[in-house]
Amino acid sequence: MSFKHNKLLIVSLWTAILAVSLSGCVSRQPTGSSSQDASDSSSSQEASDSSSSQPYEPYVYDWENPPLANDMAQIFTRTLEARDWTTLATLCTYANGAESLAYLNQLQLDSISCTGKQPDPYSGTYDLTLDVSDPGPTNLPAGQGTYVLSIGSNYMFGGPSTVLSINTPEKFEAHQQALNDPAGQLVIDMRSWGITQTFTTPAEIDPEQMMDFLILMGSRYYGTKIDEYSYDPLTELTQEQIDAMAQKYFNLDSFVLTTSRYYNKETQLYELWGRGGGYSNEKVIEIQEDASTKNKKVTVEVYSDPLQLVTYETLCYTVIPRADGTYYVASAEKLA
């Protein structure tokens, strides 16, 4: 197979990934599950009821016939209550063994319960009520509170439904709203495709990362739309098209980088190579609009743990509107 065919194959994979929004919870039908299975799992009960009625037994993940979302919510609750970090790690999408959950040793819970059921058998959100006596290093406040337990299949890694995150209702809703806000979506796109550094002006952004992002956005912008969810990306972009993307997303007149690894000196075009993007363990937790300038401040919280309970850093992006309703990113600063 020629290099170009290889490239188009990889680009097609990238297109499928990019078509899925970075919402953190994606439905995917696992192998070995039937519609009857979904019907059987639709009746869920509180985790505290099921755990108190029978001795705890560690759940052994069955990859051939994985649990559906409603069942996963209860399995996770029982496992967390039992403080079985080894088993819990197998239930969390982003956990890397029991060591990645060691911080939970310092979290003390007086009670835990999970309620709710979802019609979608493969993803959903549930009410996780925790009575916290000692939050340890987590963001959880002491006392009783109800949080959003998200279950689904990660857009990046695929596979069956597992636990994605635990968030306050406010943070969860803020991120969902950001997906429908052009300023919020712009920041999500930018961070998802590698530009995660702070900068006072876009000129400070790493040039190769900037070019990578501009090519990716240009391939979508100038590509051919197939249907509501997919498109055929443009795989070679001219300097004029790159300049247009620099203007669109960063208000730069031009962006020339003929030393880039993506630049073909023979064709004098920038090439879209296959790449899968990157997963960032984070959420947009707030978008504030200035009443006079209409500028927006988009705040992103980045986490260092698999359940989004420990904050690594918080960043704020200044996003400026244009008369046509589009936005460009002006700066990114670290708040904490």
User: Could you tell me the pLDDT band of residue 279, with boundaries at 50, 70 and 90?
Assistant: low
Give residue 8's pLDDT: 38
Give residue 230's pLDDT: 80
Give the CA angle between residues 9, 15, 19 to the nearest 5°: 155
CB-based contact 215:262 (threshold 8 Å) = yes
Give residue 145's pLDDT: 97
pLDDT (mean) for 301-327: 96
Give residue 47's pLDDT: 38
* Residue with tokens 């708040």, as numbered in its chain: 335
More confident residue, 152 or 277: 152
Return the closest-CA partner of residue 114 out of 41, 43, 46: 46
Give residue 225's pLDDT: 85
Q: How far apart are CA 215 and CA 208, in angstroms?
A: 11
* Residue with tokens 């088993």, as numbered in its chain: 87
Q: Please count the other Cβ atoms lying within 10 Å of the Cβ belonging to residue 194.
A: 19
More confident residue, 159 or 161: 161
CB-based contact 17:279 (threshold 8 Å) = no
Give residue 79's pLDDT: 97
Axis-axis angle for helices 207-221, 239-250 (nearest 10): 100
Q: What is the dihedral of CA 89, 72, 67, 98, to 10 degrees?
A: 10
CA 242 to each of CA 175, 212, 255: distance values in angstroms, whole numbers, following the listed order: 29, 10, 7
Give residue 231's pLDDT: 80
Domain 35-166, CATH 3.10.450 — does that match?
A: yes
Q: How far apart are CA 149 and CA 166, in angstroms?
A: 5
Mean pLDDT, the chain, rounded, equals: 84
Ranges for all domains in the chain classified under CATH 3.10.450 = 35-166
Q: How far apart are CA 196 and CA 277, in angstroms?
A: 12
Q: How far apart are CA 181 and CA 79, in angstroms?
A: 37
Q: What is the dihedral of CA 36, 41, 43, 45, to 10 degrees?
A: 170
Give residue 82's pLDDT: 96
Q: How far apart are CA 96 and CA 93, in angstroms?
A: 9
Give residue 138's pLDDT: 97
Instruction: Tell me which range, 18-32, 89-103, 274-288, 289-303, is most confidently predicted by mean pLDDT.
Output: 289-303
Give residue 280's pLDDT: 72
Q: How far apart are CA 72 and CA 122, in angstroms?
A: 10
| Residue 38, pLDDT above cutoff 60 | no
Whole-structure pTM over 0.75, yes or no? yes
Of all residues in the chain, what percent carry a pLDDT higher than 90? Answer: 69
